[in-house]
Chain A
Amino acid sequence: MYKFQLFRAALLSGFVFWALSVSAQQDTSQVSLAADTLDFYDNPQMPDFTISAEDLDAELESQDISGILQSSRDVFTSTAGFNFGAARFRIRGYNSDHTLISINGVQVNDLETGRTTWWRWGGLNDVTRFMTIRTGLHPSRYNFGGIGGHAEIDARASNFRKGTRASFAAANRTYRQRIMATHATGMMDNGWAFAVSISRRWAQEGFVEGTPNDAYAYFFSAEKKLNERHSIGLVTYGAPSISAAAGLSVQEAYDLAGTNYYNPNWGFQNGEKRNARIRNNFQPMTMATHYYTPNRNTKLQTSVFYSFGRSGFSGLNWWDARDPRPDFYRYLPSFYQEGTTEFNAATEAWQNDVNRRQINWNRLYDANRNNLFTVENANGIEGNTVTGMRSKYIQDEMRDDLTWYGFNSVYTRRLNDRSRITIGGSGHIHTTDNYRMVKDLLGGDFWMDIDQFALRDFNNPDVAQNDLDTPNRLVGVGDRFGFDFSLHTRRFNAFSQYEINFKKLDLYFGADVSNTSFWRDSRLRNGRFPDDSFGESDVQNFTHYGLKAGAEYKITGRHYLTGNVMHQTRPPSPRFSYLSPRMRHEVIPGLTTENIFGGDFSYHIRYPRFKMRATLFYTEINDQVWARSFWHDELRTLVNYSMTGVDHLHMGTEIGIRANVSPTVELNAVYAGGQYLWNSRPTATITRDNAPEILATDRTVYIRNFRVGGMPQTAASAGLRYNSPKYWFAGFNANFFGHIYLDPNPDRRTSEALGNFVTDDPQWSALLNQTRLDNHFTADIFFGKSWRVKRKYFINVNVNITNILDNREFAVGGFEQLRYDRTDIDRFPPRLSYLFGRTFFAMVSFRF
């Protein structure tokens, strides 16, 4: 028994470090955004592939062959999640909005984007480890799920393993140190159970220069057992975090700076590194849950929840002044002809002058302190003349602050030995306050809230006002400006699932129906759209549904076939439905529900020493809308570019194998080969950003069969792990990533962009060809050891080293800039992000 415990501890610790390291890698996706896209469009984050030690135990002990659908230990998912995460691999190429995450049954995907927002509970690894995760199509007793699967985090206090765990970790990734402590009482004799976890992760500077981070997290769960049938629980958690972002730049800048981890977001101020792009998030959540178990076969779990808080992302803003971002294309040598004096001077400055290569904060202060300016009729008051230092540069913060409450209820009942029914419903009332706030005037006295482009384009000072009701408004630190609106979203959902098991065949059917409505409510009347910007907009209302079914056929107790199909309609994401949400009520023309059709087919082998899964999948995600804002060089104005009829096709193969060639040696191999394609020719509409003027309609975008970008479409890994009977383990993985593309800039793929170029012109293919990134190999090693002290304390040490070969040339993602010069495509080259070089994560943990 003692040996078994230790063995289990070793295994456990292995998974713990693995889970932790995956979550540490999550942070690499904190990237800055191009100026030419709305900041909303953050890179989606990957689901955190975490399985629990509990599940591992269950599998070792389980004899129930129909348990496969409930077990979350999957040979493909676990290895892929661990080895591919850093390269931005996404299972089946899906965005995270296709995977539903729930905590105590409450869906916690962002309601406006559908995306998972891991930062809301980041650092609570000891809590999220106890997660049920299923990728792909499966039955779920928590909700209808998405085409990408679902994950449920169980936050019930009595379900936490009793005991205490404390750990300290050192790393050189986004964070340098982490401390974490967790304690759970288990269900005590007095009917109470408590679980608490806190952590702090921080770094003076992460792997990338100029990226300090500091993140705290807390979790508290209490449960009171009222009687055998009723329990009530209270859960509250939050993760206040402040992190400086690494920005994506162009290859020219990386080459000049001599590193692919060049970060344009920081600069020296008084000799200290200061980063302009800071995320400051804290959206705590509190929920009360009622657990009702009237009998062995029936369970009703009802939660009410409330969440609120801030989400802020700061950046530089400027008015009638030079672009302060050091890698603006006009500051790069390539803006000049090679060999000219200007070219050489820019090269020299970039290579040798840190104040050219990075933000020159002192210069921004100097400029602001010297910009004596007189505003007449300030703040809309006739004759109110204000003279002072008007900031040309400020640091502002884009906020979307949350208020979210609702309920969720799930009822599940085993009807008989063979069948089970699950019924659930939920309601979500979700509001975000979106605004820009002055964070730092950088030495100036005030900022004036007018739009620079509008002032120049229209010979009418009213048009330039962002707040027409208070013209020439002067704002200071803490004031909102630019835009200030609420986006209200309501969703009500009901779902049901029926499962039935036969001797060789298990079947399930599921259905759900939802209603989603959303509208905009602006507190500012914008001078460009005086009649279409203020107050409440029309309500957009969509009713949508999903149907799914699946079967599992047991050829023998060791061989299974599974197949699943799903059809789902989804509303457009509220956040992406408006042409220019900051300015006006107008929605994208042709806004409609998305249509999803998907299915997968798998063959599973499960011997004690050999496990395999091979899956074919095929999914169409049709009728999507797409909208961005950017500077259009041909039309010479800032435009809102929207597309309708955007279809994606995701198809491919997943194979995972794990073989225990001896009691101590385990081999694993996974392969994911997909084709994730743009599957239609969308229709684009271009409108002016600052006037109700349609610049182009029915523009056909020729991107059918372009690859969906931002992830390796092919990934493979093989690894070996040695588990010593002496309570240590070590192993390595070798990984391959291929078919990495950047999403196409749609406007480059139109006949309008081609203009009168002919196929022989170099611009022809330069405009049309999709950006493809190189294939790469990486390798990782890991080892760990555990001790048991005085028969009751466990000490584990785990180390893993990722990218041990220090491959610093591996561009894992980025984007094609939307701004483009049709005659010279290299003027606005893609912005790229690189896999971190060799990094380590080392942890010592203590458990009793």
Chain B
Amino acid sequence: MKTNLIFTPLAWIVLVIAALVAGGCEREYDEPPPRVVPVGNVLNIEELKSLYQGQRVRFDTAYSVYAVVVADEQSGNLFRNIHVQDNTGAIVLRINTPGGLYEGDSVRIFLPGTVLNSFQNMMQLDSVDVDINIVKQATQVHVEPKSVTLAEVTSELQGQLLRVEGVEFTESDLGRTFANAETQQTENRTITDCDGNTLLVRTSGFANFAGATVPEGNGSIVAVLGQFNNDLQLFIRRLPEVVMEDPRCTGGGSGGGECEYDVNPVAQVAQNFDDVANDNTDYANPNWQNINVQGSRRWRGRIFQNDKYLRATGFIGQGAEVPPTEMWLITPPVIASQAPTLTFRSAQAFWSHDEDVPFQVLISHDYDGCDTEEATWTEITNLNRPTQSNSNYQWVPSGNVPLTQYLPQGYQGTYHIAFKYYSVGTQTTTIDIDDINIQ
């Protein structure tokens, strides 16, 4: 029988090998050409922020901003918020999806598609797509934090990386953790300097240091500055940047509580609060102390029909109970004159105090400028204050209040006058004060 050559086993084996050689190969795909991101006009951060005029700005033309990432999401404290800065300022990038930008990245931000906006007074560049809007220039660019005192922290520094020196967590925060790591709730803590200035430290419950206890000493903190409405807030990048190992400034007896109060005494006071900068922000004047003794609130500057004055209130919401809230506004040291007198005006609104008094005026001649508890304070009673019978926001003149009786005979030293507000529970009457004159 004639064998057909095609069907000999050898031929089939060859075919098998051929099939094997042909199979097993996956196709290679062409790599797409690199994307070219144009530069367009270059703005610095200050110029970028100045484009915001109360309306959100959506970019659609080629602009670029060069900046360096100073805080990223890696610790979990910031989520989709990236702080970048240049030498003119800082801004927060809100990125569409987490990830991709790291501290030390020097980047060019290509603006088309992004939106410049102010979110509760915080300037931010929203809708940033890291894959599309960011061109990395270099990595590991180290930005030195700007060293400031607590009193110097203002919204001017918004977004920037700061090192705040000489601060400590307030007494009431000691023993607490930065945030609630269990429930992953974001929480606020407060730091204070020895002058009683305070600032919030806000920490996400997702931060990988949320469960760490706040340090007890005094020292420095490196953080970026955020803002929510009128509250300035520090956000820590990582725990080792909170170095508080020095003795606390208050807390008596630890020996280190040296008082650094160097406000120059004044012969007279004429304070009409024209230096109030923003409506409804904590009043800040380096010569005046604005202390929250209990709670987190302080006297706030108000601007109403060109009149500037201060307001204190514990009110947080209709029917809501508030924790004890006590804030003091303390004058600079006043040199006692022959016959010192005090005048001011004050007003109440929404009277709700019954047992407690919302507002008292105190005087002390042994206050060292640091420790209100150590000093002897006497209430000044021979003056007119608003009561429940006054209508809301009706100014009540105090009258000429002689102070001689509250000072030692022939006293020629200095004294301080404190305006104390107290609120608790549903007793949340609002008090305004203005036009404080001491002669």
Contacts and interface: CB of A to CB of B under 8 A. Distances in A.
A222 B16 CA distance: 14
A372 B100 CA distance: 10
Contact of B32 (A217, A270, A373): A270
Given A274-B29, A456-B76, A322 B208 contact: no
Interface in A199-225: 200, 214-218, 220, 222
Contact of B19 (A194, A218, A222, A270): A218
Contact of A240 (B15, B24, B96, B137): B24
B26 interface: yes
Contacts of B25: 242
A321 B97 contact: yes
25 contacts: A194-B12, A196-B13, A196-B15, A198-B15, A198-B16, A216-B22, A220-B13, A240-B20, A240-B24, A242-B26, A270-B31, A280-B26, A319-B99, A320-B99, A365-B32, A365-B34, A369-B34, A369-B35, A370-B35, A372-B137, A372-B138, A392-B131, A455-B74, A459-B239, A636-B184
B136 interface: yes
B150 interface: no
Given A196-B16, A198-B16, A282-B24, A370 B136 contact: yes
A214 B12 contact: no
Nearest to B105: A372
B100 A321 contact: yes
Given A194-B9, A216-B20, A270 B29 contact: yes
Contact of A361 (B13, B32, B104, B130): B32
A574 interface: no
B102 interface: yes
Contacts of B7: 164, 183
Q: Which of B20, B32, B76 has the most CB of A within 10 A?
A: B32
Contacts of A196: 9, 12-13, 15-16
B345 to A, nearest CB: 51
A216 B12 contact: no
Contact of B131 (A214, A319, A370): A370
A389 to B, nearest CB: 9
Interface string A419-455: 0000000000000000000000001000000000001
A592 interface: no
Given A320-B100, A366-B131, A456-B208, A218 B20 contact: yes
Contacts of B206: 456
B236 interface: no
Given A240-B20, A240-B23, 9 more contacts: A164-B7, A183-B12, A196-B9, A198-B12, A215-B23, A322-B97, A322-B131, A366-B34, A372-B136
Interface size class of B (residues with CB under 8 A): 35 or more
A320 B76 CA distance: 12
A214 B23 contact: yes
A387 interface: yes
B75 interface: yes
Interface of B: 7, 9, 12-13, 15-16, 19-20, 22-26, 29-32, 34-35, 74-76, 96-100, 102, 104-105, 130-132, 134-140, 184, 206, 208-209, 239
B135 A370 contact: yes
Interface string A361-386: 11101110111111000000000000
Q: Which of B22, B74, B76, B130 has the most CB of A within 10 A?
A: B130
B205 to A, nearest CB: 11
A392 B7 CA distance: 53
A669 interface: no
A-B pairs with lowest CB-CB distance, top 3: A320-B99, A322-B97, A216-B23
Given A240-B24, A322-B131, A272 B96 contact: no
A374 B100 contact: no
A321 B105 CA distance: 16
A181 B102 CA distance: 59
Contacts of B96: 322
A743 to B, nearest CB: 32
A269 interface: yes
Contacts of A370: 35, 131, 134-136
